[in-house]
Amino acid sequence: MRRIKVLVVDDSPVMRKALTVAIARDSALEIVGTAAHGRMAIEMAARFRPDVITLDIEMPVMDGLEALREIRRTDMRTPVIMFSSHTQRGARATVVALTLGATDYVGKPAETDSVEAAFKCLEAELLPKIKLHGERMVQRAQAMASAAMQVESRPRHPTVRRSRVKVVCVGVSTGGPNALMRLFKDLATPLPVPVLIVQHMPAAFTKLLADRLSSAASVTFHEAADGQKLENGHGYFAPGGRHMEVASEGTDTFVRLHDEPPENSCRPSVDVLFRSAARTFGRGVLAVVLTGMGRDGLRGCESVREHGGVVLAQDESSSVVWGMPGAVVEAGLADAVLPLDDMAAEVARLAGSRTVKPSIGATNTTAQG
């Protein structure tokens, strides 16, 4: 496999130097250019066609968010990894970037004036993500060159509605914020059932993501609180670092949060949520597994199917990483395998919602940060 081509975008000379040195030391990578602001990044991305772009957020001339919007207007595939500060402001901007189509993110080291501190952060956190996403791009390019690329990685097949949906449960990881934005912005009206979401994210990010989606979608989202009663038309995110389950008492259903050990190296875990939903709602569960690394959600989908619920999985070609949905599909647990652009219509149909927006499937990359 050829080397992964990387474009580095950062206004800090220290960070550009650290990235250049780190990439030069890795035989799997090559740097094709460095840019000090977003406008330069857009020009260099078009000229060099990198496999991966690392993108700072706070920069002069054009910041990272505006550059990302411009890049995504014409290029939805090239992985863009945001490299931002750990501050609250940096976290908020990172969440906006992820909903606009950024592929992944890494927090900058606090000692931004130290090349050594920067290099350690890069080696431990950023370079592995560059390789992960870059390898996928290289493999895609090589497959296309050899005419081996398939339009659909798995055949789609219709979902048979088994019973009335009472809850929608979503499991998602890498690439999730943008996938969730696209899914829920396509719904013209709130779903007539509650929505429960496990997105693998740190604690500082889940409330920001819930707020971001609420401002753009018809569903009202919350970072879930222990004991919170579920309401139709509302969505509930598992807080970063805590498992989320659902339980019932009489006619009420509510959230239960706990700190049991991680499952699949994850807390929150999709499996934990899906199993509890299957126990509580039985045949009324609609489970949706979107883009993400690993196999979290596989065992949970087994439980959903055992209780008579329905499972939808995102297809490979529209996933940033086809780990989680791919595991479900390979195990034969998916009732339908759908591209992201078709997912909202199927979720709305199964949940009993009457309408989706006419522009369903169109990605809006001009949302305000």
Interior angle at CA 335, CA 318 and CA 343, nearest 5: 40
Strand partners, 4: 29
| Locus of tokens 């910041």 | 63
Write down how long the chain is: 369
Residue 13: partners with Cβ closer than 8 Å, 6 or more residues away: none
Residue 365: partners with Cβ closer than 8 Å, 6 or more residues away: 68, 69, 72, 73, 100, 101
- 200 part of the active site: yes
Q: What is the per-residue DSSP string for 284-342?
A: GEEEEE-SBSS-TTHHHHHHHHHTT-EEEEE-TTT-S-BSHHHHHHHTT--SEEE-HHH
Q: Which of 12, 173, 319, 353 is catalytic?
A: 173
For helices 88-100 and 64-74, the axis angle rounded to 10 degrees is 10
Nearest-angstrom CA–CA distance, 210 and 43: 33
Q: Which of 296, 315, 335, 342 is catalytic?
A: 296
CB atoms within 10 A of CB 17: 16
Phi–psi pair at 197, nearest 5 degrees: -130, 130
CA nearest neighbour of 97 among 84, 110, 78, 112: 84
Q: Which of 37, 133, 200, 243 is catalytic?
A: 200
- 252 part of the active site: no
Kindly list the catalytic residues. 173, 200, 296
